Structure 1
């Protein structure tokens, strides 16, 4: 699967054995490059075979004779407004870290003794590390910029969050306030509970932002309070789709709904592309 800013754009699996677009705007790529999908299909069929070999190799190293096992690869790049480029490339086995590439030192970090064998094998062939460094610093950002051009209407849109605040009784005469923000895009958002306009470190939002089926996101944040002090608390929400931050309070037992009016300004702050759907020469198994 290939993603841009959390939005899936293409797909391949062993049943169809085809690389296909997931979103309509990715069909534009064939207009500029008619052989794009055929080329990527062939490359990924080769990757499928390589992955099978890597699983078998890993099973041998971990003395596993059967069972269900997975070999995973994740790589991508990020491009910031100020032009900074970063990239990552890492392997996993059965959901655990296996091998991670450091493009600055052209070395691989092994997670355990089994991965050390692959590290030694690949570092003995410097061309592998140099290829991935060049890809992450040049080819990947160029792909990212191209995809942003194709999907500009969707990827660079701003959809403000809808914020709902509710409450429920808790133990020991306390109550829980729940702030839920949903329907927003892009993913980056800041949600905090504030007491008299001030936020404590323990109340700052660091949780998970989850995707909705329509490509937007949602998140929620709760806090336990003394009901007598309810009027002193506000859910504070900051997002690029908002003209101004929101401060939402509970009124009595009824939730307060605020649907903010968004404004589209500027460009996306951090853009990223990740997946395993790129043309790779000289692919190597474990």
Structure 2
């Protein structure tokens, strides 16, 4: 997996880490650190961020120089670790200086006198649905390309090029260095992932079911494409398959990885190219942890608008008739009023000769180096 060359692209690396749209529900705790040789407005020299299940929960940069909470639930950590924010701030400030020196060393390795360069770090752990540890990552990238990564099973470092081989030889002179990273990934990281899941369980452990639909697009050579869409679901793991008469299809399908929505849910889609004559044989199956049984979706022709048009015409005719009747009634009342006024004009009344008045009321309507924050140590 490749780390990307600019802080704005860290979310792309995060999406790759979080995996595709298949698989059982799991949870991840990830840290990303990025240092740049030429900071500018809007681009700090150093930035460190932490994610749980793709949700940003903490951030540090060389402008604020303090670790900041990014979701309300992480503030619950103060009850367990009162010095949490001060301690992590100190760690990030130390890492900021380490990264600055590392960039200078790397530029010498690659014989670079200046220009824009990046040094990135990524680490994290995974907790499977059954509670067992999953994947662990501890790796670095220089100028957007893989540089060196830990193989935690063999406690060795994998160098991506000849310059990284220099770093590999230095680090492997101290076997305890790799052992410490392995312990972090398998113990400390997992412990803190479990804590974060407890702090944010209302958000992180919820289950929102997907809404699904199938659309179609005309293609070439008498072919068409059916697109199965699932959106608004959480957690991110989802299994979407196209089936023809019960058989799962792989050939001819185009798969898009799960992507986040602004509200914290996810969306995904899977398309397949078919012969339109066989359209009714295809079904999309959407399976998710929130569902008792999979959604089974087929393409449905849009409902006819004829009934709606007839209803609109009838409503318009009724309004016209009502308007004509209202106008006739109003005209008739005015004529009667004029006649009443004419009959009494100039006459006198038994009460003193005052002229009777006809009053009309008009109708109206109102209308993240060397180490990430090693929490707990």
Residue from 162, 169, 174 that aligns with 1:113: 162
TM-score by length of 2: 0.65
Distance in 2 (alpha carbons) for counterparts of 1:277 and 1:117: 22
Residue of structure 2 aligned with 1:244, choices 286, 290, 293: 293
Distance 1:23 1:77, change over 3 A: same
Structure 2, gaps ≥5 residues long: 1-48, 304-370
The secondary structure found in structure 1 opposite 2:236 is coil
Deviation string for 1:219-278 (max 9, x for gaps)?
111111111111111111111011110111111246xxxxxxxxxxxxxxxxxxxxx752
1:223-262 to 2 correspondences below 5 Å:
223-253=272-302
Counterpart in the other structure of 1:15: 63
Deviation at 1:14, TM superposition (A): 1.9
- The equivalent position to 1:141 in structure 2, one of 151, 172, 190, is 190
Higher CA-based Rg: 2
- Counterpart residue number, 2:204: 155
Count of residue pairs brought into register by the alignment: 260
1:212 matched to 2:212: no
Q: Which residue pairs with 2:344 in the alignment?
A: none
Q: Separation in 2 of the partners of 1:191 and 1:171? A: 25
Moved more, 198-207 or 98-107: 198-207
User: CA-atom RMSD, angstroms?
Assistant: 1.9
Report 1:59-74 matches (<5 A).
59-74=107-122
- The DSSP-based 3-state class of the residue aligned with 1:209 is strand
The ranges of structure 1 where at least 4 consecutive aligned residues each deviate by more than 3 angstroms after the TM superposition are 203-207
Higher relative contact order (CA 8 A, sep 6+): 1
Q: Which runs of 5+ in 1 are unaligned?
A: 255-275, 282-286
Between 1:199-208 and 1:155-164, the stretch displaced more is 199-208
TM-score normalised by L of structure 1? 0.85
Give the secondary-structure state (helix, strand or coil) at the position aligned to 1:199: strand
Q: Closer, same or farther in 2 for the Cα pair 1:77/1:36, shift >3 Å?
A: same
In 1, the alpha carbon distance for the partners of 2:302 and 2:273 equals: 16
Where do 1:34-49 residues align within 5 Å? 34-49=82-97
Bigger proportion of residues as helix: 2
- Does residue 100 in structure 1 map to residue 149 in structure 2? yes
